[in-house]
């Protein structure tokens, strides 16, 4: 069943709100990463870290970078969903062109595919044609 106009307005508001939350989280994560980098430079000073410390430093930096990338990916998904709302293609599966059920969109407002196509894509990505 297609989304009603009021459901679509609600979904847009929820996506915009989630986008703002993600913007705040991204800004915070970027600041954390900058702060962490500054702290590491200050701790090192003219002496190099012990090799064990370098591994821990690299792991922490990678963890922060991964979180930041995940947040950016989520923001991109929200942006794409808002773009689909704007151009009238929200709720239409990008693969088969069928309507994505409103229940699925309410649970995952950024989805681009219906359940069947999403399952097929995941199976193909695993190499299970």
Mean pLDDT by 10 residues, the chain (129 residues): 86 97 97 84 60 61 94 98 96 96 93 96 83
Crossing angle of helices 51-87 and 5-44, in 10° steps, is 160
Domain ranges in the chain?
5-91
88-102 pLDDT, tens digit each: 999 999 999 999 999
Q: How far apart are CA 62 and CA 68, in angstroms?
A: 10
Instruction: Give me the sign of the Cα torsion angle 93, 98, 104, 109.
Output: positive
The reported pTM is 0.79
Q: How far is CA 44 from CA 19, 30, 79, in A?
A: 37, 21, 40
As a residue count, the chain comes to 129
How many H helices and E strands in the chain?
A: 4, 0
């Amino acid at each position: 069943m297609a989304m009603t106009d009021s459901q679509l307005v609600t979904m847009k508001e929820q996506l915009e709100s989630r986008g703002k939350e993600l913007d705040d989280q991204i800004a915070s994560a970027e600041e954390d990463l900058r702060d962490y980098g500054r702290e590491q430079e200050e701790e090192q000073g003219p002496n190099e870290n012990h090799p064990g410390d370098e591994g821990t430093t690299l792991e922490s930096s990678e963890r922060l970078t991964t979180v930041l990338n995940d947040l950016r990916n989520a923001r991109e998904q929200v942006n794409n969903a808002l773009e689909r709302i704007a151009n009238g293609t929200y709720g239409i599966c990008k693969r088969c062109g069928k309507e994505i059920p409103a229940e699925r969109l309410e649970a995952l407002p950024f989805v681009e595919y219906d359940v069947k196509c999403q399952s097929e894509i995941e199976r193909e990505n695993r190499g299970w044609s």
